[in-house]
Structures are given as structure tokens and as C-alpha cells.
Amino acid sequence: MKKRLLIGVIITDCHVDFQEELMRGIISQAFKSNCDIAVIAPLNNFYLKSIHKMAEKDIFKFILSDKFDGFLYDRHTFLDDDIREYIDSLLKESKKPVMLMDSGEHRSFETTSIDDCSAFEIITDHLVNVHKLKKIYCLTGPKKIFVSEERLKGYKNSMKKHGLYFDKSYVFYGDFWKNSAEELAHKILNGTVERPQAVVCGNDICAATLVKELINGGLKVPEDIAVTGYDASVEGYQSSPAITSYSRPNYQLGAEAFRRLYRIITGDICNKVRSENGSLRLGKSCGCDENIRIRNEIMRKTSINRDYESGLLYGDMLFDITNVGSYPKFADRIDNYTYFIYKMRHISICLTKKYINSYDSGFNEKLDFNIGDEVIQILSKSAVQREAISGEYFSSNDILPVFSEKRNYPTAYYISPLHYNDNFFGYISLSFGKIPMSFSTLYLQWINYVNIALEQMRIRSIMNYTVSNTNKALLYDERTGMLNRNGLEKNFNEYVSENAECIRIQLTGLTKMYFQSGEEKCEKIREIFSKAVLDCVEKNEICASWGNNVICVITFSTERTEKLFRSICEKIRESRFSDENFSIDFSVGSCMIKGNISLSEAMHKAAVNRLYTYNISEHNENPQYEKICLLRNKIMKNPEKSWNISDIAEELYLSKSYLQKIYKSYFGKSIIEEMIQFRIEKAKNFLSDTDMTITEIARECGYSSYNYFVRQFKIAEGISPSEYRNNTK
């Protein structure tokens, strides 16, 4: 069977009417062309930023899956520039064909648009020809956005065609949301702008908000001011009075965008689906009578959603799915509540291996997501019954098992993230079978309940793990995970026989390392060194952290000390230690365990009986090395001080040129470069952890000039201090 194309759709706000129409066109045309659809559908448009919302951007990493053959990208619905640029970069990296929808020209991608200009001209013509209005304002969307400018162009064409006066004071750029409409209403009510006879709005949400604010301010609509919208949404007809609008042919846009992408990928022309053209939808906001049939259809749909919403909000779902002790039971509970998803034909929940491991082992690290991460299905359900799942992990590169199956029919799935704050749990996929439709706002709430339940299960497992392992934790080293001294001594008699040998391994270079790079890096080195030792010990040997920088190995093999030493040396040479500019020395000694000798006595004798030493440092022979390390540590702790190289050189009894030479040979940077780096790091901590002004931070970090601080920060980080603060808050 010929491979069926898989087309990815990058879109947001799928629950909104005009987005649903767009998806209906895409899916209808895809099914007619025998292609699969995977909609990468986050649950927000990233306009209002928060930790929880921004975590959803990990779902876009699916773009890098090699399963996709091309992408349809509704770029302008993502209201955050950073998110758009992030998606753009992933699409470019994928090297797959991309078709934009409703966008202006783009340097990297093709685009498909519909004629908003003519449609907006029709709405304005209606106000002029039917209602004889002349002084008409236009409230469009954001400036320089393609759809905003096209709608404004249609308004201008109509005004020019009828010979009506207008200038820039008649035009208002907004946000396609409530804020700009509220602002315009207040300006009209308080007389900041002259009262118009009518306002044509860029969409129904703006129009409905404007109507509400004008009426609350004492004006009548349409008697005092007529208002029209665009997109023919449910919100427009639920407004009072109902909004006169234009039913934009989004269905046609979606279908045409798919056809053009299909031709780019295959070189073939696919058969068209039935055309659905746009039309004027009359309401009372301009003075016309509304269409009762349309109102009844909308009210019926609203009533169905309200009934389901009531059952979800006031039912037991949230309590029921959070009151479980394992993810298999969680899947069983979720099975009872899929009926809330209107016309659902298949649903699947996939959790990452990272989430499963965090649940099973109780670790509390940040859970992220990357394409290729292993995931597992915990729920697969058709409209009426649960389906068998393999219980095995698969690569997220495959997206869903269904896309790898041989089928006689195409399918479409909406794939949305499961997460809580910045912890990414997995994803949920939803299909409506043969019906080309999208999900409702109720589905968003349903997923939120799932997210809360998954987080509650994870927290509960961490707490249970912590409580049940409190005593165990006292016997293990927190940093390395190996037995600590208490753990080894407690079970010494059980573990050890007289035929055993005690091997003592001591890191001897970390004292100097502390002055060079600080405590945190020393701990990291100890952790990595311990792992190297653990990799070298055999299965029947016992490895424990004896104390600061000392490891004890109990072995039952003869002549093991030399072999272990050589294995560790080889690991060290393979590791990053040999590439770093610091001292890592260690020594190895041993003692046979005989008679009633205690473990402490054995470790003492092993320390005395030092057999082997290892040193990769090239700096220990220089008597100035430790002094330079101490100097660097002082600069690191107090970078804001006025560090004068001449004074430092004099204090260390070195020439200025020699000091600079050996400092750079040890640390790879000059004293000034290091001081600037330490100052910038200190500034970054102030920016992310305090509310101090930029001027105050500059002063605290040793800068007398605000402009000089900003310039150095931008050189080091690529962004200004203000931008850095905004990105980290």
C-alpha cells in the first residue's frame, strides 16, 4: 500500500468558530485526498504569558518528527512574537514544505489567503447603501498584520467608491480582542473622538464588546451608532442586539491551503471539495432584522454545550480521577468521563517515560519533552469501548501508533499537551472520526482536570516515596546515590567476610579546586568522579561514600586494587576531567580485612598503605597556582570591587604582564574578562530574583555608568537587562 501523506497543522484556539471552520476545510480536503492530519493544538495562544502556558510550547517539538510530509501553519493566530519565531525556526529546521494561511508574504514559506478586502468592502457598502450612513469609523486588528490591513483596505475602498470623507482619525488599530473595543467606546463616550454614525469592526468579539460598552454608556445601538462585525461567530449572535457580520469563507481557505500544499509535495492536483462561499449575515446591530433560523441553530448548540458543561463543572470527575494511586487506575477512571467530549470517536493519552519514572521512583526533577523521547499509551478508547494497548514504550517521533498502521481510510487527530506549570507529562490525542470538526471549550476544561490529576498523582508518589524512604535516605549519600558511611557500617558484618579487601580511594585535588571554582563545582566533580568509580566496580563489590572526598570499595577478588586503579584512570582519561583546567588528583590504598578488625581500622590502614596516585594537573608544580586560585575566588565573590591589576600584581609579588599571562593560562580568560563575567552573573541574579531597578543593579555590580552596564550586558547576553528580566520573571 502506498504511504499515506501525513500533514501537520500548526494552529491555536481550535475551539473558536472561525478556527473550527478553517479546520473543517482542511480535514475535508485531506480526507478527499486520502491524507492523514495531525493537528498540533496547544490550548492557548500565548498572548498572556505564565509558566503554565509557556510550557505548552514543547508540543511544537513534534514539528521535528520525520513522520510529517508538510505543514499548514496558521501563523497570525499566535499572538506572541517569540512563539511565532520559535515555531518558524522549528519549521525551517524540519526542511519540510510549509503553507501559511491568512498571512502576508513570508521570506521562507508559501502563503494562501482569502479576500478579506472585498468582504469588508461589502459590509461597509451595506451601511452606506442600505442605511444611508456616511460618517463611518473602522476598528481593525493590529497594525502591519496582513488580515488587519486587508480589512482596512476594504473599508477604504468602499468609502472612496461612495465619495465619503475619511482620514486617519477615522481608523483605529486594535488587538482583535475586547481591549481595543473598550478603549474606542470610552473615547466616543467622553468626547475624545467625535461620535460616528457607524463603526465597522475587524471581528465579532470587538463588535459585541463595543456595543456593550456604548449601551452601558447611555447610547443606543443602532439608533445612535450602528455597529458591524466580521467572522459571523457565536459571540456575535449571542450579543444583544445581534451583530451584523460577514460569514468569512474559512472553510474554503483551509481547503485551498491544503490543495496548494499537496501540489507542492506531490506535484499532483487533488480534487476539490464542495465550495462554501462567504456571505453577509444580518443582525440588529446595524438596524436590520436578524435571521431567526441561524439564531435557533446557535442557541441549540449553546444549550448542548451548557448541559455538558454543567455536568463537568458540578459533577465528580475531578475528585474521582485525582483520588487514585496509580496511572493504570487513573486511565480506568478517565474511561468513565470521555462522554463529556462531544462526538468523540477516538481518544488516546500518552505519558512520557520521564513522567512514569518520576512517578515510580519519586524523584522531583523538572519534566521536559524532546522529540524522540519515549512515551507509552495508558489509554486508547473508541467512541464506545476501551481498546487494547501494547504496554510498551514507543518513540514520540512516531507521534501516535495509528500513523504507523496500515489503514484503508485517512484519519485526523488533535494533539494537545498534558502538563502542569513547567512539568511536561505527555500528550492527549482526539479524533472525531469521519466528521471534519474541532473540539469545544468544554474539552479545554476536561484536559485541565486531567492535568491536575496527573500532577496530584505525581506529588503523592513523591511524598509517599519520601516518607517510606526516610530511613533509607539516612543510609545513602544524597549526591552520589551510593551507600554512605552509616549505611556501610550498619551492615558491615552482613556484607563482609575475612576474605575481603578494603580499598580506599581519596580525591586529593578538590581543596585547590574549591578556591578555583567554588563549592558547587567541587560537588559536581565529586558526583562525576563517584560515578566513574561506580562504573568500574564489579557487581559483587560494595562501593560506599566514606566521607568528604573518600570512597570505600569492599572487594572479594584477589589482586583487585591495581586493576581497579587502572580502570578508574582509564575512565578519567575518557571523561571531561582531562579537558578541564583544574586539578583532579586521587590516591588508592588497600588493607585486607582479618580477624576482628573494624571497618574504621581497615580504612585507616588503607590510608597509610597508599599504593597508587594519579594526577592530571599541569599546574600543581607552579607555586603561584594556589595564590591565583585564591585571587580568582575573591573576584568571583566580590566582582563589584575595583580590581586593579597593578595592585594585585604587587600584592602577589609578580609583574603585571606575568600575572596576566599565567592567569589566562590557568583559566582561559584574562582577569578583566573574568571580572566582567562575574559582574554580569551577579546582575542576572539581581534581575531574576529582586525588584531592584536597573540603575540600582548597575551600581551594586560595580558600574558607575548605567549606559556602560547596559552595553556590557547586551554584549555578554545578547539582550538588554530589561529583556532578560522579562524573560525570567
Residue 31 grid coordinates: 480526507
- Residue 5 DSSP code: P
CA 650 to centroid of chain Cα atoms? 52
Residue 52 pLDDT greater than 70, yes or no: yes
- Contacts with 266 (C-beta within 8 Å, 6 or more apart), sequence order: 5
User: d(Cα 620, Cα 630) in Å, to the nearest integer?
Assistant: 14
For 352, the 3-state DSSP assignment is strand
What is the Cβ-side half-sphere exposure of residue 318, based on CA atoms within 13 angstroms? 13
Per-residue pLDDT band for 654 (boundaries 50, 70, 90) equals: confident
Can you tell me the mean pLDDT for 162-171? 96
Evaluate if pTM is beyond 0.75. Answer: no
**Per the CATH hierarchy, to which homologous superfamily does domain 625-728 belong?**
Homeodomain-like (1.10.10.60)
Contact (CB, 8 A) for 352 and 305:
no
* Per-residue pLDDT, 642: 86
pLDDT for the residue numbered 360? 72
CA nearest to 43, candidates 314, 310, 440? 440
pLDDT > 90: what percent of the chain? 44
Once rounded to an integer, what is the mean pLDDT over residues 448-452? 93
DSSP secondary structure code for residue 191 in this structure: T
C-beta of residue 111 within 8 angstroms of C-beta of residue 221? no
Of 436, 451, 427, the residue nearest 42 (C-alpha): 427
Binned at pLDDT 50, 70 and 90, residue 616 comes out as low
String of DSSP letters for 593-629: --TT--HHHHHHHHHHSEEEEEE--SSTT-TTHHHHH
Question: 410, 389, 301: which is closest to 35 by C-alpha?
Answer: 410
Distance set, CA 178 to CA 202, 216, 700 (Å): 11, 15, 42
pLDDT tens-digit map of 197-255: 999 999 999 999 999 999 999 999 999 999 999 988 877 878 889 999 998 888 999 99
Which pLDDT tens digit goes with each residue over 270-280?
A: 998 987 777 89
Cβ count near 80 (within 10 Å) = 17
DSSP-H helix ranges across 469-518: 470-473, 485-490, 492-495, 510-517
- What does the pLDDT read at residue 511? 58
What pLDDT, on a 0 to 100 scale, did the predictor assign at position 504? 93
Phi and psi torsions of 70, nearest 5°: 180, 170
pLDDT of residue 619: 41
Where helices occur in 162-239 by DSSP H, the ranges are 178-189, 204-216, 234-238
Q: What integer best gives the mean pLDDT of the chain?
A: 86
Q: What residue spans define the domains of the chain?
A: 116-248, 483-615, 625-728
Residues 724 and 687 sit within 8 Å (Cβ to Cβ): yes
Task: Using alpha carbons, list the distances in angstroms from residue 199 to 169, 221, 282, 522.
Answer: 13, 11, 15, 67
Average pLDDT, stretch 27-46? Answer: 94
Q: Please give the CATH superfamily to which domain 483-615 belongs.
A: Reverse transcriptase/Diguanylate cyclase domain (3.30.70.270)
CATH number given to 116-248? 3.40.50.2300
CB distance 155 to 120 below 8 Å: yes
Once rounded to an integer, what is the mean pLDDT over residues 283-290? 91
